[in-house]
Amino acid sequence: MLKKGLTYCFLFFLIAASAQQRKSVEVLIKNRATIPFQDQLISIPWKDVQTKLPLVSPKNLIVVSAFSKKQLPYQIEYKGTDVPQNLLIQLTLGAQVAEKILLQLGVPTAISNSTFCRYVPERKDDFAWENDRIAFRMYGKALEGTKENANGIDVWVKRTTGLVLNERYKRGEYHVDHGDGMDYYHVGMSLGAGNIAPYVNDSIYYPANYRNWKVLDNGPLRSSFQLSYDPWIVNGEKVQMTKTVTLDAGMQLSRIEVSFNFSKSDTLPVVVGIIKRNDPGSILLEQANGIMAYWEPTHPQDGTTGVGCLFFSPVKDVKVNSLHLLSVSQAKNGQSFIYYAGAAWDSAKLITSAPAWFNYLRNVKNLIHTTPEIRIL
């Protein structure tokens, strides 16, 4: 009996020692959707990677396609902490196709940033974010009380995969197209390109502009940040709000996670809106499918912008009034309300018509809803 016990202990030691010495593991990733995805970020918990590859660190990991033997772009996501949370791998896969990738120890090839976000104190507390497709900004406290004040999400159109925010702010001419796009999207006192606010008795209760910010991750493939707002009164009730915004490389849409706290109620109606122009545009309202989209009338000198929102909680109502396209939902006290909002520009030559924009939104909804299968072998 003692001999058998010693044998088991020895075998366990060998297995543990072998695991400690591993320099490579295989990961099987399958796209379970009926459509392909292009340069999508696949998220694997970092603790699962460490369990299979104990000697790994954020500085000594190489991600390789088992088929092409080429390195794949990746990012370690921290979510505002000092500890790695997820491994994000950028991958292209056909519909219902599986691929093996290898996680290996070594020196990775550096990749350039495809996403970026930052606080912009030199422009009245803007907070701006972008990727290789599109750019956005929100307005801060310093803009309040000025003739420029606005509340909604602003769109900065691009026709380059390069990052443009810093250069545009440096020039101070972001309303002029220098060959890479511009800001011609008008927001004003509206929800702009998919902002959110409480909605009671057909009235939108706008908060003041954001007060505090925190960058959680900043590229190369995903940038995320948090904005917090001072409490305000909604129909006699104090409301607090925090937004966490995430933008991935290759996406036209930001993921927006909003946490509301209400002083009295368990739930409160909220509305996500898209500003509507005076001239006719193309509108898509798919309440059951959780899609709201707008292909704006063409701006004579600057082209056409498409704006869209995707919802994963039930939409109670959709409507169009003189100022907005609106989707009404219920937010729960202390719980996250998650939706996606974004835009596209026809001059970028990627999405050039209303049908193409609406189809893009349906495909993204499908891909987000159908998570890939991931197995570390």
Domain boundary among 79, 107, 135: 107
Q: Per-residue pLDDT averaged across 322-338, rounded?
A: 97
Angle value at C-alpha 226, between 221 and 87, nearest 5 degrees: 30
Going by C-alpha positions, the residue among 119, 67, 344 that lies closest to residue 226 is 119
Separation CA 347–CA 345 (nearest Å): 5
**Residue ending a domain, choose from 107, 140, 175:** 107
Residues paired with residue 232 on neighbouring β-strands, in sequence order: 239
The position carrying tokens 């990677």 is 49
In a domain, 11, yes or no: no
Question: Is residue 358 in some structural domain?
Answer: yes
Q: What is the pLDDT of residues 5-37, one digit of tens each?
A: 444 433 333 344 444 568 999 999 999 999 999
| Average pLDDT score over residue span 123-134 | 97
Whether residues 133 and 75 share a domain: the answer is: no
Residues 72 and 167 in one domain: no
Whole-number Å distance between alpha carbons of 299 and 317 = 29
Phi-psi region of 96 (alpha: psi -120 to 50; beta: other; left: phi over 0): left
> Do 91 and 131 reside in the same domain of the chain?
no
Share of the chain above pLDDT 70, in %: 94
Asked if residue 97 and residue 43 are part of one domain, the reply reads: yes
Arithmetic mean of pLDDT, 367-372: 95
CB 299 within 8 A of CB 278: no
Report yes or no on 9 lying in a domain.
no
pLDDT in tens, 232-279: 999 999 999 999 999 999 999 999 999 999 999 999 999 999 999 999
Mean pLDDT, range 155-168, rounded to an integer: 97
pLDDT of residue 16: 42
Q: What percent of the chain has pLDDT over 90?
A: 92
End-to-end CA, the chain = 34
Of 19-33, 124-138, 342-356, which range is least confident?
Answer: 19-33
Q: Is the pTM of this model over 0.95?
A: no
Inside any domain, residue 337: yes
Residues 88 and 127 in one domain: no
CATH code: domain of residue 37: 2.60.40.1180
Does residue 4 form part of some domain?
A: no
In this structure, the answer to whether residues 259 and 351 fall within a common structural domain is yes
User: Are residues 98 and 139 both part of a single domain?
Assistant: no
Say how many domains are in the chain.
2
Query: Which CATH number characterizes residue 273's domain?
Result: 2.70.98
User: Which range, of 7-16, 93-102, 108-117, 278-287, averages the lowest pLDDT?
Assistant: 7-16
pLDDT given for residue 20 in this prediction: 53
Residue-level pLDDT at 2: 44
Confidence of residue 217 (pLDDT cuts 50, 70, 90): very high
Q: Do 162 and 47 share a structural domain?
A: no
User: Is 5 part of a structural domain of the chain?
Assistant: no
What is the structure's pLDDT at 14? 34
pLDDT at residue 22, rounded to an integer: 80
Mean per-residue pLDDT of the chain: 93
Task: Give the residue-averaged pLDDT of 140-150.
Answer: 93
* Pair (345, 278) in one structural domain: yes
Residue 31 is given by DSSP the state: -
Whether residue 119 is found in the same domain as residue 90: no
Please check whether residue 230 lies inside any domain of the structure. yes
State how far the alpha carbon of 179 is from the alpha carbons of 66, 106, 189, in Å: 39, 40, 29
What letter would DSSP give residue 372? P
Shared domain for 152 and 273, answered yes or no, is yes
80 is in which domain, residue-wise? 22-107
- Rounded Cα distance between 213 and 86, Å, is 22
Q: Are residues 87 and 138 in the same domain?
A: no
As a whole number, mean pLDDT of residues 173-177 equals 90
The tokens for 14 are 């060998």
Q: What is the dihedral of CA 143, 175, 273, 342, to 10 degrees?
A: -120
Domain boundary among 88, 107, 126: 107
Residue 14 lies in a domain: no
Q: What average pLDDT does range 205-209 have in this prediction? A: 97
Give the mean model confidence (pLDDT) for residues 281-287. Answer: 97
